[in-house]
Structure 1
Amino acid sequence: MDRSCFLVVMLVLSPLAAWAQTSDFEYPTLWDPSTIVSSSVDYADGDAKLKGYLAYSNATSGPRPVVIIYPDWDGISNYERFRANLFASMGYAGFVADVYSQAVQQGPSIPAANRSALMMPFRSNSSYYRPRLLAALNTVRTLDIAQKDKIFAIGYCFGGGGVFELARAWPNTPGLLGVGGYHPGPLVSAGPKMQAGSPLRVYAFSGAEDPGITGDSVVAWKDEMRAANVTWGYYNYGATVHGFTLLESPVWTGNKNVSNGYNAAADHASWWALRGILLEVFQLTNTSNAYTSAGGAYDYQTGMAGTKLMSA
């Protein structure tokens, strides 16, 4: 499917359009299905009726840290549910936020032009986007399964840029400890910037060959983080383009005319980096000595198996 997000807005004749699919990709089941509990969660942002996806494991009991996932430009699909289930298998609760509302049939069947029309009102107006992002955070805090003071947010593409907008909404972000944007778009905001004194940790995971990420935008993003004096990280993966975590995408072979594609090394490295960040942020491991401390009590998944997750 064509999931190059904001890149297709600029590159209408993207070579990816030739292999666009209308059906959702079937992701591998990398967990014991009998242990994963999933459900939809109805919530709202003003008059907009929203429906998120919640997953957690019954292998552990009681409230646990939550990872919120903000979707890319085709909204909620099997990709975001797959990531939520992975977090659930690691002992967290995974919650996929709804940005477009229940009025939109979401997923890969949405034509690129329609995705642009749905996405751009949010991307172009942070005062419109941020309340929608905050609605998911506030909803998660009402869930019995959630540790309300241990929440981390990640996003992909459109959602990757969205989590930076969420972080910029601090201090109106109770319970949020940090964010991570994967192949984010955009890095910078026309709205209010990150506020000085924010305790949030902010991370970006990007491809060095992503044509949608300009050098100027990277400099501006880093300068914004430095000015706010937050804890931040910019992970820049070589020989990697946009959408490098999308398993259904063809593997990128270095063709400069192709704007996005899967990269197993970058996918694996960024996933392991996030897992380490979560253990530290949620205080599930003794970070005073990362070399000798044991893994966190929650992150008990020691390996994954699957076609693209284990091979190029």
Structure 2
Amino acid sequence: MVRLMYLVLVMSMRLAVLAQKDYEYPTLWNPSTIATSSVDYADGPAKLKGYLAYSNATIGPRPAVIVYPDWDGISNYERFRANLLASMGYVGFVADIYSQSVQQGPSLPAANRSALMAPFRSNSSYFRPRLLAALSTVRALSSDIVQKDKIFAIGYCFGGGGVLELARAWPNTPGLLGVGGFHAGPLVTAGPKAQPGNPLRINAFIGADDPGVTPDSVTAFKDEMEAANVTWAYYNYGRTVHGFTLLENPVWNGDKNVSNGYNAAADHASWWALRGILLEVFQLGNTTNPYTSVGGAYDYQTGIAGSKLMSA
């Protein structure tokens, strides 16, 4: 409970530096090549609405990456990441955690976010089915669009902790090959831990100065992964705090009293690490040379989105 209250406080401090209007993210792709739509789905009685993006220049079924949102729900940020993934040749799907009844995005008051998030954080038996509903929905998409056995999941903050919970739901995760949690919180679970033999690739991308990530939680996460014999990685970015991938956050100036801030170096490095991981888990690279793929070093399709993100 103390950890949850602290995480809520950290997130609340992010709100203070955000405008209520949704941030306008840059278009780093040719809009005419990206097909987007909303997808209605459900988790029991909860009616959900996801966001689907894929390149209409890509032929045949594509590997898919599910994006789980942070604590304000679906906003331009998650759509931005899904569109980036689509421009790289993947299917990007933004999952809905809160339901269609919630007006999601930066205008969602902090108190509402805390109230919406708390039941998921405190009860994995409630959270994991909601996470799995998005996985089932992606697998149910047309086989002309999605390769149902090649799915990866990423998430940010609330969603970053969510994908770690999703990985712990194995073996009830058909088609899922791995997860990546960016400024994920918390690293530890209130529910069942990862089971021994879990084959998923589990990655956490964390700011070394994120005050919501304690040394004890890092140790507990590593111990859990080792006990389950998981292929895992913990990326620890120096001089980096919470929310380091969010372009709308002010750049962190090293002030220890500020818990959130954008860090371009950590953002770019973590994104490129993800790109390499996707090539490996989806078996898109040149297996005779792990440093390159068929299209060039850590490149799938044109790679235009990633190169532009690096120079943005």
Structure 2 distance, partners of 1:153, 1:13, is 25
Misfit runs of 4+, over 6 Å: none
Amino acid at match of 2:274: L
Amino acid at match of 1:46: G
Instruction: Name the structure 2 match of 1:265.
Output: 265
Q: Does the residue aligned with 1:232 lie in a helix, a strand or coil?
A: strand
Residue 21 of structure 1, CA deviation: 1.4
Q: Does the residue aligned with 2:101 lie in a helix, a strand or coil?
A: coil
Deviation per residue, 1:136-169 (Å, 9 max, x gap)? 0000001111100000000000000000110000
Superposition pairs for residues 228-239 of structure 1, below 5 Å? 228-239=228-239
Amino acid at match of 1:277: I
Contact 2:18 2:248 in 1 (8 A): no
Normalised TM-score (structure 2):
0.93
Deviation per residue, 1:277-300 (Å, 9 max, x gap)? 000000001234223543478442
Structure 1 unaligned runs (5+)?
none
Q: Does the residue aligned with 1:19 lie in a helix, a strand or coil?
A: coil
Residue 305 of structure 1, CA deviation: 3.2
Instruction: Name the structure 2 match of 1:300.
Output: 302
Structure 2 unaligned runs (5+)?
none
Q: Residue 108 of structure 1 is aligned with which of 96, 106, 121?
A: 106
Superposition pairs for residues 35-184 of structure 1, below 5 Å? 35-144=33-142, 145-184=145-184
Change (3 A) 1:275 1:66: same
Structure 2 distance, partners of 1:161, 1:295, is 32
Matched, 1:282 2:285: no
Instruction: Name the structure 1 match of 2:24.
Output: 26
Residue 7 of structure 1, CA deviation: 5.5
Residue 17 of structure 1, CA deviation: 4.7
Instruction: Name the structure 2 match of 1:9.
Output: 8
Q: Does the residue aligned with 2:80 lie in a helix, a strand or coil?
A: helix
Change (3 A) 1:74 1:7: farther
Residue 36 of structure 1, CA deviation: 0.3
Contact 2:285 2:292 in 1 (8 A): no
Q: Does the residue aligned with 2:160 lie in a helix, a strand or coil?
A: helix
Change (3 A) 1:136 1:12: closer
Structure 2 distance, partners of 1:94, 1:44, is 18
Change (3 A) 1:135 1:12: closer
Amino acid at match of 1:244: F
Amino acid at match of 1:200: L
Change (3 A) 1:225 1:12: closer
